[in-house]
Amino acid sequence: MDMSQATPNDLDALWMPFTANRAFKQAPRLLARAEGMSYFTPEGREVLDGTAGLWCVNAGHGRRQIVEAIQKTAASLDFAPGFQMGHPLMFQAASRLAQITPAGLDRIFFTNSGSESADTALKIALAYHRSRGQAQRIKLIGRERGYHGINFGGLSVGGIGANKKQFGPLLGNVDHLPHTHMQSNLFTRGQPEHGFELADAVEDMVQLHGADTIAAVIVEPVAGSTGILVPPKGYLERLRALCDKHGILLIFDEVITGFGRMGANFAADLYNVTPDILTMAKGLTNAAVPMGAVAVSNEIYTQVVENAAPGIELFHGYTYSGHPLACAAAIATMDIHRDEALPARAKAIEPEWQEAVHSLRDRPNVMDIRNAGLIAGIELRPRNGKPADRAGRIMQRCFDAGVLIRTTGDIVALSPPLIIESSHIDRIVTTLGEAIAAEA
Ligand code: PLP
């Protein structure tokens, strides 16, 4: 089907995810085609992509190399089971991924999404402690304003009330660290100076629950979905040290921060802090086929797998773990990242990106601007009694003016493809600045 001709005349059947369905269906915003830095509506209007889709199309849209790898694989191996069977591409994709994950995180488990990666990581942490005879380590510690997807585990350790309130009690074995947003860090460029001691809340958890009941701490190195919270200098280091002190596993959710987004392969590389488990998705396949992955330390793999009794070592997995099309897309994506040095490219343009986004500081109602790698958050003053209204209208204005941005509450979140050039930065920031002014 030619997507540019796809103008649905019946919007009723689809229940859209994380969408105000009724408002959307009154005035749909449709994207029918994508190429490079841009989307195109069914009518052919160009919309510059300031969000890399949903933080995921890091290498830009419509990459032929990825398309051809998917086509070729679809024609030769549509599917092969990954339970007690395998196919060459899943091993090849895991080896390639292990080459770019931080040193020591060399064992790869495949999933189909960031949410599945979060739940997989939490379950592996529990299985690890149990296999060492520490079955009492069942507490999972997340962080306020954290997002780890929407499955029961990730949702439970997540720190976004709105995502939980429709669903009653979730996992009971969780607690949360405080978030890292501080008034004293407003308008910081890059990593904030204040707040590393917020990591000491791990000690509070130990006091409260007992160290020997805690299995893992899970955080996003940079919280994305709640509006770009960049870790204060020294914070991640301190988390690492405290987890080590108490035998707690540290999990980084790098679903957004992975694959060059931070100007390095992973935030763990940029900040020089290595977790025990690292979750991924999104940029792994450039979003061309759904895929997620969990990288675990050799020690965890050895403990859970090599030391197990004969037979299946971990009763966990998905029908589509390591799907051939996803593996083909992942390998082609990693080729592009290597050949085009995308993380280095992101790093090179980051100073210009930072300058540009911080130039919005004097626009009306801008309360804070935060940035890291090729991500930025612009926090706006909510309208009295109408939370998210201002940002929502700004998003619509930008879309009408040909720029796609994303908003979360009254925070604008930007995360363009890493192939962005100066002219695109200009267009995104100018259009956004005008929209902010128009909604004063
Ligand atoms: N973890 C983080 C940090 C994310 O940002 C997201 C999605 O935005 C997820 C997990 C969930 O990923 P998915 O929507 O692929 O399940």
Q: How far is the CA of 149 from the centre of ligand 1 (A)?
A: 5
Q: Does the C-beta of 261 come closer than 6 Å to ligand 1?
A: no
Q: Does the C-beta of 225 come closer than 6 Å to ligand 1?
A: yes
Domain termination residue (choose one: 311, 339, 367): 339
**Residue 22, pLDDT score:** 96
**Residue 1, pLDDT score:** 52
Locate the ligand 1 atom nearest the alpha carbon of residue 257 and give its number: 3
Which residue segment(s) compose the domain that 39 sits in? 3-59+341-438
**Residue 10, pLDDT score:** 86
Domain termination residue (choose one: 339, 370, 393): 339
Please tell me the pTM assigned to this model. 0.97
Q: Does the C-beta of 113 come closer than 6 Å to ligand 1?
A: yes
Q: Does the C-beta of 301 come closer than 6 Å to ligand 1?
A: no
**Does residue 279 sit in the same domain as residue 385?**
no
* Pocket probe mutation, ligand 1, options 143, 255, 257, 261, max atoms within 8 Å of Cβ: 255
Domain termination residue (choose one: 294, 323, 339): 339
SS (H, E, C) the chain: CCHHHCCCCCCCCCCCCCCCHHHHHHCCCCCCEEEECEEECCCCCEEEECCHHHHCCCCCECCHHHHHHHHHHHHHCCCCCCCCCCCHHHHHHHHHHHHHCCCCCCEEEEECCHHHHHHHHHHHHHHHHHHCCCCCCCEEEEECCCCCCCCHHHHHHCCCHHHHCCCCCCCCCEEEECCCCCHHHCCCCCCCCCCHHHHHHHHHHHHHHCHHHEEEEEECCCECCCCCECCCCCHHHHHHHHHHHHCCEEEEECCCCCCCCCCCCCHHHHHCCCCCEEEECHHHHCCCCCCEEEEECHHHHHHHHHCCCCCCCCCCCCCCCCCHHHHHHHHHHHHHHHHCCHHHHHHHHHHHHHHHHHHHHHCCCEEEEEEECCEEEEEECCECCECCHHHHHHHHHHHHCCEECEEECCEEEECCCCCCCHHHHHHHHHHHHHHHHHCC
* Pocket probe mutation, ligand 1, options 219, 225, 291, max atoms within 8 Å of Cβ: 225
Q: Does the C-beta of 408 come closer than 6 Å to ligand 1?
A: no
Q: How far is the CA of 54 from the centre of ligand 1 (A)?
A: 9
Q: How far is the CA of 362 from the centre of ligand 1 (A)?
A: 32
**Does residue 360 sit in the same domain as residue 278?**
no
**Does residue 274 sit in the same domain as residue 422?**
no
Q: How far is the CA of 309 from the centre of ligand 1 (A)?
A: 34
Q: Does the C-beta of 281 come closer than 6 Å to ligand 1?
A: yes
**Does residue 183 sit in the same domain as residue 293?**
yes
Q: Does the C-beta of 114 come closer than 6 Å to ligand 1?
A: yes
**Does residue 83 sit in the same domain as residue 93?**
yes
**Does residue 102 sit in the same domain as residue 208?**
yes
Q: How far is the CA of 382 from the centre of ligand 1 (A)?
A: 25
**Does residue 239 sit in the same domain as residue 312?**
yes
What tokens does 66 get?
A: 């990825």
Q: How far is the CA of 218 from the centre of ligand 1 (A)?
A: 13
Q: Which residues pair with 371 in a beta bridge?
A: 376
Q: Which CATH number characterizes residue 382's domain?
A: 3.90.1150.10
Q: Does the C-beta of 142 come closer than 6 Å to ligand 1?
A: no
Q: What is the mean pLDDT of each run of 10 residues along the chain (440 residues)?
A: 62 95 95 98 97 98 98 98 98 98 98 98 98 98 98 98 95 97 97 98 98 98 97 98 98 98 98 98 98 98 96 98 98 98 98 98 98 98 96 98 97 98 98 98
Name the domain count of the chain. Answer: 2
**Does residue 333 sit in the same domain as residue 369?**
no
**Does residue 226 sit in the same domain as residue 374?**
no
Q: Does the C-beta of 158 come closer than 6 Å to ligand 1?
A: no
Q: How far is the CA of 115 from the centre of ligand 1 (A)?
A: 6
**Does residue 335 sit in the same domain as residue 352?**
no
**Does residue 397 sit in the same domain as residue 331?**
no
**Does residue 360 sit in the same domain as residue 395?**
yes
Q: Does the C-beta of 416 come closer than 6 Å to ligand 1?
A: no
Q: Which CATH number characterizes residue 88's domain?
A: 3.40.640.10
